Amino acid sequence: MMYSSKVMEKFRDTKNYGKIENADGIGKVGNAKCGDVMWIYLKIEDEKIVDAKFETFGCVAAIATSTTAIDMVLGKSVEEAYHLTNKAVIEALDGLPPEKIHCSVLAEEGIKAAIEDYRKKLATS
């Protein structure tokens, strides 16, 4: 299986790796078939994502798609970030092997889950 140089670069880029204490939104998603698990943490101020981190346990593609999705939503409005697609993540990585497309879907779902968590907390506060 061949990964693009962009996938390998993002896999090695750990600047967004970690946990945000008291995150405004936390999304946890996983794929039982392959065992990948992603946590996405968002810090939101005035409906803008001011910080985002991830913890991913999985393959090269799972880690690369996590950090790419984080890069793509940082500084964006919550609404813009909610519309991030797995296709946009794949394009940003110059493609993924067909058997690794599910990793980009997890990244999209992780961002959405974190935003939904944030919105749920807002509604109940």
Query: Bridge partners of 41?
Result: 26, 53
Per-domain residue ranges for the chain?
5-124
Catalytic residue among 20, 26, 34, 88: 34
The encoded tokens of residue 86 equal 């797995």
What architecture (CATH level 2) is domain 5-124? Alpha-Beta Complex (3.90)
In 3D space, the residue among 100, 113, 119 whose CA is nearest the CA of residue 41 turns out to be 113
pTM: 0.95
Element (H, E) at 50: strand 48-57
From CA 39, how far away is CA 16, in angstroms rounded? 12
Task: Quick: pLDDT tens for 8-50.
Answer: 999 998 889 999 999 999 999 998 888 899 999 999 999 999 9
Given a contact cutoff of 8 angstroms between Cβ atoms, the answer to whether 17 and 5 are in contact is no
From CA 104, how far away is CA 125, in angstroms rounded? 32
Q: For this structure, is 59 an active site residue?
A: no
Catalytic residue among 42, 62, 63, 103: 103
In 3D space, the residue among 17, 11, 13 whose CA is nearest the CA of residue 40 turns out to be 17
From CA 67, how far away is CA 57, in angstroms rounded? 12
Task: Quick: pLDDT tens for 61-111.
Answer: 999 999 999 999 999 999 999 999 999 999 999 999 999 999 999 999 999
